[in-house]
Structure 1
Amino acid sequence: MAARLDNFSELARRRGMTPASERVAFERRRATTQEAAALALPDADEIVRLTRLRKADGQIFWIDVTTLALAVLPDASAIGESLYAYLERIGKPVLRVTEKLRAIVATEELAARLGIEPGEPLLHIRRTGYTHDDQPVELTDAYYLNDFYELTP
């Protein structure tokens, strides 16, 4: 049975909450060898890394760091509320994902951004999103504070 892919905004709305994203950082640089391989890009191609706090009703629930090819997202302001809705608008919808889940403890940097104490438990999910022809389009590291994330069969 396939799991249903929900984005943050859908999860929040289903709970009767108002979703919001706060852009923390937007970095443009050459891809590392690992990033280029994960996104099927030529070595040293340019990428962008978008860091966002994800909130519902003003409360922080997670932070994600998304890596995309520069050609996919040359300007962070183009996203609006939802990265996946943006990708759909530009003809690169996320059609399937692979995810690796693991429990971690918050580093000092993550704790400071999430407003928690270092060492608190977090759920880390590394997701690769694929578009048409099984082309990888996004690589995201997400760090979740609680049970807000749902994987629904």
Structure 2
Amino acid sequence: MTDLFSTKDFGDTSAGPLYLQLHRRIVEAIASGRLKPGDHLPPEREMAAQTGLSRVTVRKGIEALVASGRLVQRRGSGTFVAHRVEKLEQALSLLTSFTEDMARRGKEVHSQWLSRGLYTPAPEEVMALGLGTSDQVTRLERVRSSDGVPLAIERASLSARVLPDPDIIDSSLYAALEKLGKRPVRAVQRISATNLTPKDADLLSVVPGVAGLKIERVSYLDNGQVVEFTRSIYRGDAYDFAVELKLAPKAKEDQT
């Protein structure tokens, strides 16, 4: 990697601004495989010393690569070559879990737990789950990854009567609910655009402010009981949600 950040050719004024020359050199190294997903780039100070460029120029070139998604910066760790994200198409007509979605694609699933436990419900949880003032809520918050790439943040809330022990959840929430006889059979789901907060962007290894998808799901048993209230944040560059549309039947008056 040392020759990648050498002073060679940076003096060619016909090649454009210096920060773009650095930008181009790193892009070409990623495309050729000299830099691989997960590779750690030298600190800004070292790159400036190796290239002979100012730290301001190096910072400008790196920021452009981070904004384009080719590099990712992690607080306290440094700058890395971003993993290539495969675009996933998700059908909206099926009620499935993240684990089931990835299993159908033959992908490995990993969960990074952020928190889980029993809590006093917030007003929106009381409304969504139909809880009483003395009820408790089970909260599950985790980052869901596939093949090592973080794709979504799930924040699920369930009545403690439905799930009294959050520690029984391994990978799939729905698999655990099925064992308890509480797996939902239908759901109402709302999807909206959002810009990722610095906290969520850091968890998903993307740039703060980039486009994401906010998904709220309320799931029900066949008797109408609410089981789950989940708010998820999905990477906008990783998901396409698809739904089949059919021609609406003609109204009776149109058929007479």
TM-score (norm 1): 0.90
1:66 corresponds in structure 2 to: 156
| Deviations 1:40-75 (CA, angstroms, capped at 9, x unpaired) | 111242112110111111111101100111222232
Shift of 1:141: 0.5
Shift of 1:99: 0.5
Which has the higher mean CA deviation after the structures are superposed, 130-139 or 11-20?
11-20
- Residue 118 of structure 2: which of 14, 19, 28 is its match? 28
- Residue 5 of structure 1: which of 70, 82, 95 is its match? 95
* In 2, Cα distance between equivalents of 1:44 and 1:54: 31
Q: How does 1:1-150 map to 2 (within 5 A)?
A: 3-145=93-235, 146-148=237-239, 150=241
Task: Please report the RMSD computed on the Cα atoms of aligned residues, expressed in angstroms.
Answer: 1.8
RCO greater where, 1 or 2, for CA within 8 Å and sep 6 or more? 1
Secondary structure of the structure 1 residue equivalent to 2:239: coil
| Deviations 1:15-53 (CA, angstroms, capped at 9, x unpaired) | 221122221111422112321121011124211211011
Seq. identity, %: 32
The answer for unaligned runs of 5 or more in structure 2 is: 1-91, 245-256
Secondary structure of the structure 1 residue equivalent to 2:101: helix
* In 2, Cα distance between equivalents of 1:150 and 1:6: 13
* In 2, Cα distance between equivalents of 1:81 and 1:96: 21
Structure 1 pair 44–105 and aligned structure 2 pair: CA distance change class (3 A): farther
* In 2, Cα distance between equivalents of 1:47 and 1:148: 30
Amino acid at match of 2:229: L
Shift of 1:120: 0.8
8 Å contact from structure 1 (residues 106, 120) kept in 2: yes
The structure with the larger Rg is 2
8 Å contact from structure 1 (residues 33, 44) kept in 2: no
Amino acid at match of 2:239: F
Secondary structure of the structure 2 residue equivalent to 1:132: coil
Which has the higher mean CA deviation after the structures are superposed, 8-17 or 84-93?
8-17
Amino acid at match of 1:10: E
* In 1, Cα distance between equivalents of 2:153 and 2:147: 15
Shift of 1:149: 5.8
- How many residue pairs get aligned? The number is 152
Amino acid at match of 1:124: K
TM-score (norm 2): 0.55
* In 2, Cα distance between equivalents of 1:77 and 1:150: 31
* In 2, Cα distance between equivalents of 1:83 and 1:7: 7
* In 1, Cα distance between equivalents of 2:203 and 2:238: 18
Amino acid at match of 2:125: E
